[in-house]
Amino acid sequence: MDSIFSGLITSKTRIRILMRLFLNPDRHAYLRELAGEFQASPSQVREELQQLNDAGLLEREKEGRQINYRANSNHPLFPELHSMVRKALGMDRILDSIIERLGNLEQAWLIDDYAEGKDTGLIDLVLVGDIHQENLGDLVAKTERYIGRKIRTLVLSSSEYRDLGPTFAGRPQFLLWHKQEPV
Q: How many domains does the chain have?
A: 2
Within a domain: residue 41? yes
Same domain membership, residue 79 and residue 97 = no
Q: Which of 2-6, 61-65, 99-103 has the highest mean pLDDT?
A: 61-65
> Which residue, 40, 60, 83, sits at the end of a domain?
83
CATH number at residue 160: 3.30.460
Query: Worst-scoring range by mean pLDDT, 37-46, 120-129, 171-180?
Result: 171-180
- Residue 33: C-alpha distances to residues 23, 81, 102, 117 (Å): 17, 22, 37, 13
d(CA 10, CA 175): 31
Higher local confidence (pLDDT), 93 or 55: 55
Same domain membership, residue 70 and residue 123 = no
Higher local confidence (pLDDT), 74 or 179: 74
pLDDT of 70 higher than 50: yes
- What one-character DSSP code corresponds to residue 32? H
